[in-house]
Amino acid sequence: MAAPNDRSQEETAVLPETAAQLADLEQLQQQLAQAEERARLNWEQYLRAVAELENFRKRTQRDIDGATRAGIERFGQELLPVMDSLSLAVQNAQSADAASLATGQEATLRLLQKAFERLGVRELDPLGEPFDPTRHEAVLAQESTTAEPNSVLQVVQRGYELDNRILRPARVVVAKSPGGA
């Protein structure tokens, strides 16, 4: 074991090789501190980005919910006159004659057609058109000598679309060549 005086000389004595190591150590410590600072800044940026993304998601969901509510509200407002007309028809059904009931039904149908028109709902009546499985639902294939094969021979139930999106396909009878081809 060295004397206390010798130990202090060992600690304070700087050899050229040790001085280079100390300089390298200081440089590495500075680089580590810089890297830690960059890591801290990157972590803070990450947390801000995550928070901004979550806020954006919530705002977008609120906007979607608001637009959906507005669309449903508009739809309801357009159909209220139809509801009123049907309610009146049911109330007066016992005392009205057949002609006035038919007139009321026609008026109610016109109200519904106008409401659909204002909402952008378009009726599909594909009679005579080529069969399109994306817009039509074939319920039957029937031989025909007058219609083109694979064309709509009869519309069983009209279809409807909204902004070129099918709400309900038209149910149709499709023409086929005589002889089953």
Distance, CA of 20 to CA of 46 (rounded, Å): 38
Return the residue matching tokens 């519309």: 155
Tell me what the pLDDT averaged over the chain comes to: 88
Return the residue matching tokens 């006035």: 100
Kindly state the average pLDDT of the residues 68-83.
Answer: 92
Contact 155, 127 (CB under 8 A): yes
Q: How confident is the model at residue 70, as a pLDDT?
A: 94
- Burial class from Cβ neighbours inside 10 Å (0-12, 13-18, 19+) for residue 76 reads exposed
Alpha-carbon torsion 92, 98, 101, 105, what sign? positive
Contact 69, 53 (CB under 8 A): no
Residues linked to residue 159 through DSSP beta bridges, in sequence order: 124
- Range among 101-105, 108-112, 170-174 with highest mean pLDDT value: 170-174
pLDDT band at 14 (very low <50, low <70, confident <90, very high): low
Closest CA to 172 of 128, 146, 129, 139: 139
Domains of the chain in start order, with CATH, are: 1-119 (3.90.20), 122-181 (2.30.22.10)
Does position 63 have pLDDT exceeding 90, yes or no?
yes
Contact 158, 125 (CB under 8 A): yes
Residues linked to residue 162 through DSSP beta bridges, in sequence order: 121, 165
Does position 13 have pLDDT exceeding 70, yes or no?
no
* Terminal Cα distance for the chain, rounded: 111
Please count the other Cβ atoms lying within 10 Å of the Cβ belonging to residue 172: 28
Does position 149 have pLDDT exceeding 90, yes or no?
yes
Helices (H) and strands (E) in the chain, counts: 3, 6
DSSP class of residue 95 equals: T
